[in-house]
Structure 1
Amino acid sequence: MASPSSASRRSFRAIMNSVPVSVALYLAVIGSIVWLAYSGAQTMGYNWQWYRMPQYFYTLTDDGFQWGEIMIGLVKTIQLSVTAFFFATVLGLLVALLRLSGLVVGTAVAIAFLEFVRNMPILVLLYLFYYVLGPVFQLDRYTASILCLAVFHAALISEIFRAGINAVPKGQWEGATSIGMTRAQAYRYIVLPQSVKFMLPPMTGEVVHLIKSSAIVSVIAVAELTTIGRNLISDTYMSFEIWFTIAAVYMIVTLALSIGVSRLEKRYAVQN
């Protein structure tokens, strides 16, 4: 029978060996995509114009430094995502509390909401908010986009809240009850603060998910990064350069957030 130390060494070697393999596979996939795009462009006789791309990040004029369209679109995307995430968090917490309330009506409403949103493609949900609810409630496209993203991600965030609350030991509830706290007070002072360590990493990951899914609002011409990219292509016909650049900007933002998520997971790792 292998000793624990030898088993640990084997596990360590397996992990170390898997890292180069993962990096190699990632680079191979990215390299294949770039090569296929380049080959297709060459076949089409495409005229690459990368030298024109910096002006869409910034320009230096007589009036001084000016941000370009891509950077403006990135700021709009972040603003849209942050606003939608705020409302999604509030709504997700409400849905989670309803589901955990023990009330028949509250639980039924929460489950109905979750099942409806889970089984609805986000594109259809966006059309529902903009083309159906928009004329009824006088919603502009920006507001409809925020509500769509908030509702869609609230269903996911509510499950994060529910899992985090359920992860708090039952003894904490019993302790709160024994000192005369109401259920609301127990949530506010005992349960929710302790559940943060369970919820924070997946919640941060949900921010990454929301930023990526925010690109869907370009179909109703909301001013954000993907819409800016489509408009630039219409003006310049530089399809390959624009889309490669937009993809790189999204990748940089999401990778930066993913690194932050990894650090949070290590910092708030739950010890067994």
Structure 2
Amino acid sequence: MKNKILNYLAALSIYGLLALLIVYMYPSRDNFNLGNIFKYHEIIINGFFTTILVSVFALIFSVVFGFLLYLLTTSKVMFLKIMGSIFDDIVFGSPLVVFVGVIFYFIAVPLGMNNRLIAGIIALSLYMAPYMKNLFVGAMESIDDLQYQAMKVFGFTTFQKYRYIIFPQLLKIMLPPLVGNLTFIVKGSSLLYFISVDELYSTIDTAMANTYAVVEGYLTLFVLYLFITIPLIRATRYMERRISNGNQNRESEPLI
């Protein structure tokens, strides 16, 4: 453990020296002043928490939409299956920024939804739905046929199957990639800037426009996004290791 910490510190030191070298090589380093950006700390803090708010709600709704999409694509009704498949193709074939623009300007606005924050959350949620659907597909396939046969023998209803058997296992299997998708949502939320949602990127862009402190602004943006995403990335890796170790322990247990 001690050796691992020392290696981490050594690696961080290398990155720190590299950052100092970049600052030293910056042509206008004498004019470098983070204070120009920090004058706008109030709106930046608001943008920071707006990004977190958008990301959390988009994650929740994308899981719901993803499950509904899973039901469509696995339906025995051909029409519903085709509807789900077409939606998959639309999302996988569209850049996120284009998808957000289409949802807002061609669907939300004509329907009278002028709240850009809500429209942005819905757009992100819909865009992530096929990715969440794929998590459900992979997780459901990991549940072996013997369990389904046992549920049938004991006369479980559909609700009981999902409530007591399927969902508890799905949660364990899906949690690491779910947190990974949250990281993608956090980064993707910056594109809500294009529909004028005051998230983190938008607020720092405002500060840069008013102060011309472009380098300072992007550096601040870089650090704040990493402040959100790195813990999520580390949490994902930790959960993957725990699940992997748990599976290995179960496999090593004697059958009798």
Query: Shorter-normalised TM-score: what interval?
Result: 0.7 to 0.9
AA in 2 matched with 1:75: F
* Counterparts of 2:14 and 2:184, CA distance in 1: 24
Verify the 8 A CA contact 1:92 1:155 in the aligned structure 2.
yes
Q: How far has the Cα of 1:107 moved from its partner?
A: 2.1
Deviation digits for residues 112-149 of structure 1 (CA, Å, limit 9, x no counterpart) = 21111111111110110122113311122222211110
How do 1:157-172 and structure 2 match up within 5 A? 157-172=132-147
Secondary structure at 1:168's aligned position in 2?
A: coil
Q: How far has the Cα of 1:81 moved from its partner?
A: 1.0
* Counterparts of 2:106 and 2:21, CA distance in 1: 43
Answer yes or no: is 1:219 the counterpart of 2:203: no
Deviation digits for residues 84-117 of structure 1 (CA, Å, limit 9, x no counterpart) = 1111110001111222333323322221211111
Q: 1:183 to 1:99 in 2, by over 3 A?
A: farther
Secondary structure at 1:271's aligned position in 2?
A: helix
* Counterparts of 1:150 and 1:242, CA distance in 2: 28
Residue matched to 1:4 = none
Residue matched to 1:267 = 242
* Counterparts of 1:37 and 1:146, CA distance in 2: 37
Runs of 5+ unmatched residues, structure 1: 1-15, 58-67
Verify the 8 A CA contact 1:173 1:191 in the aligned structure 2.
no
RMSD of aligned Cα (Å): 2.7
Residue matched to 1:65 = none
Residue matched to 1:81 = 55
Q: How far has the Cα of 1:33 moved from its partner?
A: 7.1
TM-score (normalizing by structure 1) = 0.79
Secondary structure at 1:127's aligned position in 2?
A: helix
Q: 1:91 to 1:249 in 2, by over 3 A?
A: same
Residue matched to 1:50 = 34
Deviation digits for residues 52-91 of structure 1 (CA, Å, limit 9, x no counterpart) = 444444xxxxxxxxxx222211101111111111111100
Q: How far has the Cα of 1:257 moved from its partner?
A: 1.4
Answer yes or no: is 1:111 the counterpart of 2:85: yes
Runs of 5+ unmatched residues, structure 2: 249-256
Pick the aligned partner of 2:217 from 242, 245, 253: 242
* Counterparts of 2:20 and 2:65, CA distance in 1: 41
Answer yes or no: is 1:144 the counterpart of 2:119: yes
Pick the aligned partner of 2:25 from 28, 39, 44: 39
Q: 1:129 to 1:55 in 2, by over 3 A?
A: same
How do 1:64-79 and structure 2 match up within 5 A? 68-79=42-53
Which protein has greater RCO, CA pairs closer than 8 Å, 6+ apart?
A: 2
Answer yes or no: is 1:177 the counterpart of 2:152: yes
Answer yes or no: is 1:123 the counterpart of 2:97: yes
Using the aligned pairs only, state the percent identity. 25
